[in-house]
């Protein structure tokens, strides 16, 4: 499974401000959108296209259009903060939801909600801002595979080596796109240096 770390100066700029503990929720949401847009473009760079013949105002030509639809599946609740960029730039995208909540004592996720569109034949992008232990990501990908997804990509903003290793072990064929690969997890399974609890900072809770 390839691990692809975002290499863009704007990505580094946005991540620095996301990490800053003084960043307020309103700005945090804007920054999340910006880095989500960069990651959306990177995670779909290899989409196939097919020829489409059109008439410009001057002459006929053969253009290219996307060959397959997309589905984005955020892991609730923090994953919702990564959905809008995909909706804004892709003309044919459906959205599913997998609700997983991490127990802060055991760091094990429990499932509380699942609603998925048809996934067969689609590029499925499972998104969650933080790839910490990797348990939630691996569990969510189990769910979308069971629903018929064959072509799956995982997209996150910050990842840990432990989370990457867990996801690679559980789903070795899945490509991971991340904004940053951080140093490690602390004793409470938070990413260091990280940016804290993404959902709490996104929603001001």
Note the pLDDT tens digit of each residue in 67-90. Answer: 988 999 999 888 998 999 999 998
Give the integer Cα–Cα distance in Å for 181 and 6: 9
Enter the pTM of the model: 0.91
Task: Examine the pLDDT at 96 and tell me if it is beyond 90.
Answer: yes
CATH of the domain at 14: 3.40.50.2020
Of the pLDDT bands very low, low, confident and very high (cuts 50, 70, 90), residue 56 is very high
pLDDT at 103: 65
Q: What is the pLDDT of residues 15-52, one digit of tens each?
A: 999 999 999 999 999 999 999 999 999 999 999 999 99
- Whether 106 sits among the annotated catalytic residues: the reply is yes
Distances (CA, A) of 177 to 5, 59, 103, 143, 157: 6, 40, 25, 19, 8
Reading the block at residue 161, the tokens are 């080596």
- Catalytic entry in 19, 23, 29, 197: 197
Domain that holds residue 85: 3-203
Provide, for the chain, the percentages of residues in helix, strand and coil under a 3-state DSSP scheme, each rounded to the nearest 5: 35, 35, 35
pLDDT at 137: 93
Cα Rg, the chain, nearest whole Å:
18
State the average pLDDT over residues 49-70. 95
pLDDT at 105: 66
- Catalytic entry in 20, 88, 92, 200: 200
State the average pLDDT over residues 126-134. 94
Q: What is the pLDDT of residues 139-197, one digit of tens each?
A: 999 999 999 999 999 999 999 999 999 999 999 999 999 999 999 999 988 999 999 98
Give the integer Cα–Cα distance in Å for 70 and 122: 5
Domain count, the chain: 1
- Catalytic entry in 106, 110, 142, 183: 106
- Whether 201 sits among the annotated catalytic residues: the reply is no
Strand partners, 114: 98
- Whether 200 sits among the annotated catalytic residues: the reply is yes
**What is the number of other CB atoms lying within 10 angstroms of the CB of residue 130?**
27
- Whether 46 sits among the annotated catalytic residues: the reply is no
């Amino acid at each position: 499974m390839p691990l692809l770390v975002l290499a863009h100066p704007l990505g580094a700029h946005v991540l620095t401000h996301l990490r800053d503990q003084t960043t307020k929720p309103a700005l945090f949401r804007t920054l999340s959108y910006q880095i989500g847009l960069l990651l959306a473009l990177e995670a779909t760079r290899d989409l196939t296209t097919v020829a489409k013949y059109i008439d410009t105002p001057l002459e006929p030509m053969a253009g290219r259009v996307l060959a397959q639809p997309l589905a984005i599946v955020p892991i609730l609740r923090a994953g919702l903060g990564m959905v809008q960029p995909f909706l804004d730039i892709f003309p044919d995208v459906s959205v599913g939801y997998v609700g997983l909540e991490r127990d802060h004592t055991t760091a094990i996720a429990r499932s509380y909600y699942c609603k998925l569109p048809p996934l067969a034949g689609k590029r499925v992008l499972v998104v969650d801002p933080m790839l910490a232990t990797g348990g939630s990501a691996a569990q969510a990908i189990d769910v979308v595979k069971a629903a018929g997804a064959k072509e799956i990509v995982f997209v996150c903003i910050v990842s840990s080596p432990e989370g990457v290793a867990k996801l690679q072990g559980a789903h070795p064929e899945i490509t991971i796109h991340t904004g940053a690969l951080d140093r490690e997890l602390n004793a409470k399974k938070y990413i260091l240096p990280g940016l804290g609890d993404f959902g709490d900072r996104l929603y001001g809770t």
